[in-house]
């Protein structure tokens, strides 16, 4: 059964066939991006050619296991001086590639579906995971305001998403993310802690040995 295979946490429920409630203002839209998968990956290839994936360094001096790039008016970056949104790619000194229309449209549709009409992202962080890569629990709070939701699109190899509450001590639920799944969190869940467990080995028909994640935000 789809339901029992997909969800590890017993306290989560589906309120529609492919809509899993993760919290107040937080939902997983199962397979929402599947149809656009190929178009998203074509647009991604152009972005990654202009602004290649790189492993950034945290303020504490750790090299991140996830490789990142960005598109949109601003991009999220980290280095020894801290986390920030920057209008230019520090590697090239050029503005980040424009956000492809297929990205922005999908993010807006997913947000609307989740109850957040009118979402207009100005930043898309693109994360690339190879087996073993992980993202520790954190809040997205480098944006100027928290009125807009976060929209996450998972492509390629499956991953275990960790979705907690607004306190670090709230135990995170483990949610399986598959190719084409979209998670949206905003409102009372906007500052929920979240992360990604180490990616398991695998081979995806479209992406091979990797997972790509798009995170859309309103940063400015
Ligand atoms: C994020 O937390 O910003 C992205 C999560 C992911 O890469 O799946
Ligand atoms: Fe995040």
Query: What CATH number did the domain enclosing 23 receive?
Result: 2.60.120.590
Number of domains in the chain: 1
Annotate 46-74 with DSSP letters as a single string. HHHHHS--B--B-TTSPBPSSEEEEEESS
Nearest CA to ligand 1 atom 4: 215
Asked if residue 145 is part of any domain, the answer here is yes
Instruction: Identify the CA nearest to 212 among candidates 102, 128, 151, 120.
Output: 128
Asked if residue 208 is part of any domain, the answer here is yes
b/e burial code for range 7-17 (CB count within 10 A of at least 16 → b): beeeebebeee
Domain containing 163 equals 19-217
Q: What is the mean pLDDT of each run of 10 residues along the chain (220 residues)?
A: 52 72 96 96 98 97 98 98 98 98 98 98 98 97 97 98 96 95 98 98 97 98
**Residue 127 near ligand 1, beta carbon < 6 Å:** yes
Nearest CA to ligand 1 atom 8: 213
Asked if residue 10 is part of any domain, the answer here is no
Q: How far is the CA of 142 from the centre of ligand 1 (A)?
A: 14
Asked if residue 151 is part of any domain, the answer here is yes
Asked if residue 9 is part of any domain, the answer here is no
Asked if residue 4 is part of any domain, the answer here is no
What pLDDT does residue 64 have?
97
Instruction: Identify the CA nearest to 139 among candidates 193, 195, 196.
Output: 193
């Amino acid at each position: 059964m789809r339901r029992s295979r997909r969800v590890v946490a017993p306290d989560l429920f589906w309120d529609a066939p492919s809509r899993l409630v993760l919290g107040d203002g937080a939902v997983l839209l199962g397979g929402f991006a599947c149809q656009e998968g190929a178009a998203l990956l074509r647009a991604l290839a152009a972005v990654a050619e202009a602004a290649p994936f790189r492993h950034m360094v945290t303020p504490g001096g750790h090299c991140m296991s996830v490789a990142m790039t960005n598109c949109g008016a601003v991009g999220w970056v980290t280095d020894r001086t801290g986390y920030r949104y920057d209008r230019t790619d520090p590697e090239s000194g050029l503005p980040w590639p424009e956000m492809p229309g297929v990205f922005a449209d999908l993010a807006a549709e997913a947000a609307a579906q989740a109850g957040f009409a009118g979402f207009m992202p100005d930043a898309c962080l693109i994360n690339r995971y190879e087996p073993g890569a992980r993202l520790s629990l954190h809040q997205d709070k480098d944006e100027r305001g928290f009125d807009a939701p976060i929209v996450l699109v998972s492509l390629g190899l499956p991953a275990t998403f960790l979705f907690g509450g607004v306190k670090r001590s709230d135990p995170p639920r483990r949610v399986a993310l598959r190719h084409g799944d979209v998670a949206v969190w905003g409102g009372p869940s906007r500052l929920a802690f979240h992360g990604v467990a180490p990616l398991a080995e695998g081979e995806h028909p479209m992406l091979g040995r990797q997972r790509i994640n798009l995170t859309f935000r309103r940063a400015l």
